[in-house]
Amino acid sequence: MAYRQVDQPATQAPDMTDGDQLLLFDMDGVILEGHGTDPAVHDDALDAAIAEAGLSVDDETRSLLAGYEYDTEFVRGCERLGIDPVALYRRRERHSASHTIDRLAAGDRTLYPDTDALDEFVDDYALGLISNNYDAVVNFVVDHYELDGFAYARGREPGVGGFYRRKPNPHYLLAGREALGGTSGVYVGDRATDVMAARRAGLDAIFIRRPHNGDVSLPVEPRATIDSLTALGEHL
């Protein structure tokens, strides 16, 4: 199955043979090593956004702007500066995506070794990669690591809209279902929000335990819990 650029929406769903089902994956902590993006990336991105906007920001105001969330503190910080919080947040997110890609290109994070196990599913399932990470980052990972088995790959758009569409909101999972033309399937994730989003999208969830989430308890029961992608086939 050929990978499709997420910024070039398909006019029609990929061909799916009789019996094909969706097999969708989260990226960070499932395919890509580590729990997620280093918080320092967002901190550096904020500095870049402030400089780009030509702002002079005192320490107290900067502390309100710091962090990943689009929250009341971020809005308060922008109000103190007299700037549009939506615009600054989007600017910072664009820098976060760019800095993340730079780190990945430098080898900061790599694929989990068991990602090779996905090759066995390509002929029988429509594979998708759907992440809360930025769209540009997901594109980069697929291209950089030549993950050609994914028929669909999608991250979130930078900005407030994308922030509020993150899992457990099923928005991007539903978009993937529609693009692939499937009505049932499985989503493999490493967080409680993945399990919740899968259920809301009408999908079964399989939870994978990695070193970063070994002790996590789940409020929603997944179809199965696995310790490696090599065990995935036993639960499909």
pLDDT tens, position by position, 119-144: 999 999 999 999 999 999 999 999 99
Tell me the per-residue pLDDT of 88-99, one tens digit each, with 9 for 90 and over: 999 999 999 999
* Local structure of 95: helix, strand or coil: helix
Name the residue type at position 53: A
Better-scored residue on pLDDT, 198 or 5 = 198
Kindly indicate the confidence band of residue 109, based on its pLDDT and cuts at 50, 70 and 90: very high
| CATH class, range 21-33+110-235 | alpha beta
Order of strands, sheet of 152-156, starting from the edge strand that comes earlier in the sequence: 152-156, 125-134, 21-25, 185-189, 204-208, 224-226
Angle between helices 85-105 and 39-52 (to 10 degrees): 130
Which phi and psi (to 5°) does residue 110 adopt?
A: -135, 175
Tell me: pLDDT of 55 over 50.
Answer: yes
Kindly indicate the confidence band of residue 1, based on its pLDDT and cuts at 50, 70 and 90: very low
Q: What is the pTM of this model?
A: 0.90
Enumerate the β-bridge partners of residue 24. 128, 187
pLDDT at 12: 38
Question: For the chain, which residues make up each domain, given as ranges?
Answer: 21-33+110-235, 39-105
Tell me: pLDDT of 18 over 70.
Answer: no
Q: What percent of the chain has pLDDT over 70?
A: 92
Provide the CA 24 distance to its chain's centre, in angstroms.
12
Tell me the per-residue pLDDT of 142-194, one tens digit each, with 9 for 90 and over: 999 999 999 999 999 999 999 999 999 999 999 999 999 988 999 999 999 99
Kindly indicate the confidence band of residue 20, based on its pLDDT and cuts at 50, 70 and 90: low
pLDDT at 6: 40
pLDDT at 183: 83
pLDDT at 60: 97
